[in-house]
Structure 1
Amino acid sequence: MIRPSRPGDAARNLEIWRGAVDATHDFLSPQHRSEIDATVAGWLPTAELQVLVDGADRPLGFMALSGDHVDALFVDPALHGRGLGRTLIAHARSLHDSLSLDVNEQNPRAVGFYERLGFERTGRSPIDDQGRPYPLVHMALRP
Structure 2
Amino acid sequence: MNQIHRISDRNEEVSHQLLYIWETAVRATHLFLTEQDIAALSPLVIQGIGQIPHLLAYTDQNHYLGFIGVQDTKIEMLFVNPAVRGRGIGKQLVTYAIQTLNVLYVDVNEQNPQAIGFYEHLGFQVFDRSERDEQGQPFPILHMKLSRFMGPNVKRE
TM-score when normalising by structure 1: 0.91
Instruction: For 2:96, give the aligned amino acid.
Output: H
- 8 Å CA contact retained: 2:97, 2:103: no
Instruction: For 2:55, give the aligned amino acid.
Output: L
Please state if 1:134 is matched with 2:139.
Answer: yes
Partner of 1:49: 55
Please state if 1:94 is matched with 2:99.
Answer: yes
Please state if 1:27 is matched with 2:32.
Answer: yes
What per-residue deviation string (whole Å, max 9, x for no partner) do you get for residues 7-62 of structure 1?
242221111001000101110134322211232234434544111111x2211100
Instruction: For 2:37, give the aligned amino acid.
Output: H
Unaligned runs of 5+ in 2: 150-157
Q: Distance in 2 between matches of 1:14 and 1:78?
A: 15
What SS does the aligned partner of 1:74 have?
Answer: strand
Instruction: For 2:88, give the aligned amino acid.
Output: G
Size of the aligned set, in residue pairs, is: 142
Instruction: For 2:95, give the aligned amino acid.
Output: A
What per-residue deviation string (whole Å, max 9, x for no partner) do you get for residues 60-103 of structure 1?
10000001100000000111111000000110111244510100
Partner of 1:14: 19
Task: Report the structure number with the largest CA radius of gyration.
Answer: 2
Q: Distance in 1 between matches of 2:22 and 2:36?
A: 17
- 1:54-133 map, 5 Å: 54=60, 56-133=61-138
Compute the RMSD of aligned alpha carbons.
Answer: 1.6
Q: Give identity over the alignment, percent.
A: 39
Please state if 1:4 is matched with 2:6.
Answer: yes
Q: Distance in 2 between matches of 1:88 and 1:128?
A: 24
What SS does the aligned partner of 1:38 have?
Answer: helix
Instruction: For 1:107, give the aligned amino acid.
Output: N
Instruction: For 2:142, give the aligned amino acid.
Output: V
Instruction: For 2:34, give the aligned amino acid.
Output: S
Partner of 2:153: none
